[in-house]
């Protein structure tokens, strides 16, 4: 493995407690509880989708994918042929496209209560504190994780365990063809977290390899520009790792 790439797990420890069991990287995303992913700018919905499918590892059951009809028209529908390259993309997929937000929230809650569903992913235009609290309670009671993919104007209070803001980044250099896009890269900013509040505001630069299905934290990518067409330059001037065990 490239020495600059650090596995994304086991990275995060609370400050001052070097030996303490810290939170593992996606902070329970797609494993338990409700997590929000928001677009950094309009058009980052595919990056959100990729991050959700790469970080979540459903243990059993199908994925219930709830997409509000307007979202499906704007950002398309998840494609199983493309999702097989992600750990969560191999689970059977049940798609529901409600028109209204109320219907979408109702569908999400029904899905959380079903024993056949291992993960609920929802593209919704927004959800207020009460709605997220309700979903968090349902998720906690039935042990089914929920990932909400939300538009870039998502702000305000939430009862979700974390909110991430995800943006697309220029892809990793392609070893076989310098002119072709390489591995997908995203920048994930942890805006708020209940599990690891000391990490709020932290920036994770992520690199996803769809051959080994591994999500890794890349250091230095965001500090310097990734100049993919000049392979010599980018490699030399990488900034020191921004994220290290403190």
Using CB under 8 A, list all residues that contact another protein: 41, 43-47, 49-51, 53-54, 60-62, 64, 72-73, 75-86, 90-98, 103, 106-107, 110-111, 114-117, 167-171, 174, 177, 179-181, 184-186, 208, 228-229
Buried b (16+ CB within 10 A) or exposed e, 222-234: beeebebeeeeeb
- Is the Cβ of residue 49 or residue 158 nearer to another protein in the bound state? 49
CB of 42 to another protein, least distance (A): 9
Please report how close the Cβ of residue 75 comes to another protein at its closest, in angstroms.
Answer: 6
In the bound state with another protein, the residue whose beta carbon lies nearer, of 36 and 207, is 207
And the tokens for 224? 């310097």
Least distance from another protein to the Cβ atom of residue 87, Å: 12
Strand, helix or coil for residue 71: helix
* For another protein, the closer CB: 14 or 61: 61
Query: Which residue bears the tokens 């974390």?
Result: 162
Pair of tokens at residue 230: 């000049």
Could you tell me if 216 and 209 are in contact, meaning their C-beta atoms sit under 8 angstroms apart?
A: yes
The owner of tokens 């058009």 is: 43
With both helix axes pointing from N to C terminus, report the angle between 129-142 and 101-113 in degrees, rounded to the nearest 10: 20
Nearer to another protein (CB atom), residue 14 or residue 85: 85
Q: With respect to another protein, which residue has the nearer C-beta, 50 or 151?
A: 50
Q: In angstroms, what is the minimal distance from the CB of 139 to another protein?
A: 15
Alpha carbons 48 and 35: distance in angstroms, whole number: 12
Closest approach of another protein to the CB of residue 182, in Å: 8
């Amino acid at each position: 493995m490239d020495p600059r790439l650090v596995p994304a797990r086991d990275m995060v420890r609370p400050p001052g407690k070097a030996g303490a069991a810290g939170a593992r990287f996606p902070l329970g995303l797609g494993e338990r509880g409700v997590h929000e992913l928001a677009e950094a700018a309009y058009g980052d919905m595919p990056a959100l989708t990729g991050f959700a499918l790469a970080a979540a590892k459903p243990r059993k059951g199908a994925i219930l994918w709830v997409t509000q009809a307007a979202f499906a028209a704007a950002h398309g529908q998840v494609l199983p042929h493309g999702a097989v390259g992600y750990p969560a993309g191999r689970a059977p997929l049940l798609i529901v496209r409600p028109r209204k937000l109320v219907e979408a929230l109702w569908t999400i809650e029904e899905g959380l209560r079903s024993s056949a569903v291992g993960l609920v992913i929802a593209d919704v235009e927004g959800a207020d504190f009460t709605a997220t609290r309700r979903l968090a309670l349902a998720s906690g009671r039935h042990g089914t994780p929920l990932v909400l993919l939300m538009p870039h104007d998502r702000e305000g209070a939430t009862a979700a365990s974390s909110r991430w803001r995800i943006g697309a980044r220029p892809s990793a250099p392609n070893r076989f063809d310098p002119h072709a896009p390489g591995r997908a890269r995203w920048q994930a900013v942890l805006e708020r977290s209940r599990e690891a509040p000391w990490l709020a505001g932290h920036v994770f630069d992520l690199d996803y390899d769809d051959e080994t299905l591994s999500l890794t934290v890349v250091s230095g990518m965001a500090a310097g520009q990734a100049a993919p067409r000049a392979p010599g330059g980018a490699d030399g001037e990488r900034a020191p790792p921004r994220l290290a065990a403190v």
